[in-house]
Amino acid sequence: MPMFQTHSPQFATSPTADAGRRSTWVSVLVNLFLTCIQLAAGVFSGSQGLIADSIHSLSDLLSDFVVLFAGHHSKKDADFDHQYGHLRYENAASLVLGLLLLGVAFGMIWAAIGKTIAHDQMPAIHPLALWVALIALSAKELLFRYMLHVANKVGSGMLVANAWHARSDAASSLVVAIGIGGNMLGFPMLDPIAALIVGVMVARMGWSFSWSALHDLMDRAVSEEEADAIRVTIAGTPGVLGVHDLRTRKVGDMALVDVHLEIDARITVAEGHAIAVDARRRVLENHGVLNMMTHIDPYHASGSAA
């Protein structure tokens, strides 16, 4: 038996986790294919927008691998050096990915600004670029519909969020297709403008990842709605007469909880302990909670807890 034990998330081998891994691998294959054809066609045709979108697809590919890497390592059992497990691999990986995306985005934006300034020197783009942009748009839209179908089938909010991320990628491909079409119609500035817009989209995504991960690493609490749900579950435990000083902190996609329980002062210590154990069990079974630490306060007939 391991020296340190925490609640093992049941979704590690659940249908939700399996569906998530399958959809992630599908995303890996799609983004690998798109990265290759967009980069090759962008260089061949001279489309700055298509090259930018290939980098966007590459960032999605890196994101998929980070998710798979962090998902594997975060499921390691607790040990002497990591007594609450390794779930913060996910938060650290998101922070690294976010910073990487920000660096890539600034490079894209800088290059796009340079091309925009010198747009009058840009040659016409080869029609191949438009066809590849439309293929990318179609592929990302189909990926969105597939991932949303899987997410709704298993009832996973996390997978729903991933699906809508794929839809945002389709939006970037649409912008690029419009920019390439404008270039072909005699408006050369539209292609670097499309690249600039995609760069801003990647920067926004990188900032979102970094900022959210940084707050999670600084022990951000769960949402108010989730905290209220946990409080209701605890209060509904037989023998719990009151709940106060509920505190939470996120660890990966899970949470750690500390709470004070008000229990009848006239019962024995063993009976009070059994009530606390039952409250903990109910919370771990019904919420994304890794562990819950309880403190028992005696509740007196006068209606006060000491």
What's the pLDDT at 230?
Answer: 96
Q: Which of 237, 278, 294, 240 is nearest to 262 (CA)?
A: 240
Q: What digits encode the pLDDT tens for the residues 126-177?
A: 889 899 999 999 998 898 888 888 877 766 555 565 666 677 778 788 888 8
The per-residue pLDDT for 155 is 61
Q: What is the rounded CA–CA span in Å between residue 182 and residue 184?
A: 5
Across the chain, mean pLDDT equals 80
Torsion sign across C-alpha atoms 264, 270, 271, 273: positive
What is the distance between the alpha carbons of residues 240 and 47, in angstroms, rounded to a whole number? 66
Amino acid code (one letter) for 133: A
Phi and psi torsions of 291, nearest 5°: -160, 150
Pairwise pLDDT comparison (183 vs 91), residue with the higher score: 183
Band of pLDDT at residue 6, cut at 50, 70 and 90: very low
The better pLDDT of the pair 210, 6 is held by: 210
Written as six digits, the tokens of 172 are: 């970037």
* CB distance 91 to 51 below 8 Å: no
Nearest one of 91, 89, 178, 167 to 133, comparing CA atoms: 178
pLDDT value of residue 78: 65
Q: Please give the structure tokens belonging to residue 217.
A: 């690493």
Binned at pLDDT 50, 70 and 90, residue 82 comes out as low
Q: Residue 237 has what pLDDT?
A: 95
Can you give the pLDDT at residue 240?
94
- In whole angstroms, give the CA distance from residue 16 to residue 232: 25
Q: For 20-66, write each residue's pLDDT tens digit.
A: 678 778 888 888 898 899 999 989 988 888 888 888 788 777 766 76
Q: Give pLDDT, residue 11.
A: 39
Given a cut of 90, is residue 79 above it in pLDDT?
Answer: no
**pLDDT of 295 strictly over 50:** yes
263 exposure class (CB count in 10 Å sphere: 0-12, 13-18, 19+): buried
Length of the chain: 306
- For residue 4, pLDDT over 50 is answered with no
Angstrom distance (rounded) from CA 109 to CA 91: 27
Question: What does the alpha-carbon distance between residue 186 and residue 192 come to, in Å, rounded to a whole number?
Answer: 13
**pLDDT value at position 165?**
67
Q: Three-class SS of residue 76?
A: coil
Q: Are 205 and 128 in contact (CB under 8 A)?
A: no
Task: Check residue 93 and give left, alpha or beta (phi > 0: left; psi -120 to 50: alpha).
Answer: alpha
Query: Which range (111-120, 138-147, 205-214, 260-269) has the least confidence?
Result: 111-120
Residue pair 178/134 in contact by the 8 Å Cβ criterion: no
For residue 297, the surrounding DSSP H or E stretch is: strand 289-299
pLDDT (tens digit, 9 = 90+) per residue, 279-288?
A: 999 999 999 8
Of 26, 14, 29, the C-alpha closest to 146 is 26
3-state secondary structure of 86: coil
Residue 297 tokens, joined: 């306060």
Higher-confidence position of 264 and 150: 264
Write down the pLDDT at residue 86. 61
Q: Please report the pLDDT score of residue 131 as a whole number.
A: 93
Question: What residues does 231 pair with on adjacent strands?
Answer: none
With beta carbons less than 8 A apart as the criterion, state whether 198 and 106 touch: no
State the DSSP H helix or E strand holding residue 71, giving kind and residue range, or none if neither.
helix 48-73
Average pLDDT over residues 210-222: 84
pLDDT band at 67 (very low <50, low <70, confident <90, very high): low
Task: Go through the domains of the chain in sequence order and give each one's CATH number.
Answer: 10-217 (1.20.1510.10), 224-299 (3.30.70.1350)
Calculate what percentage of the chain has a pLDDT beyond 90.
25
Residues above pLDDT 70, as percent of the chain: 77
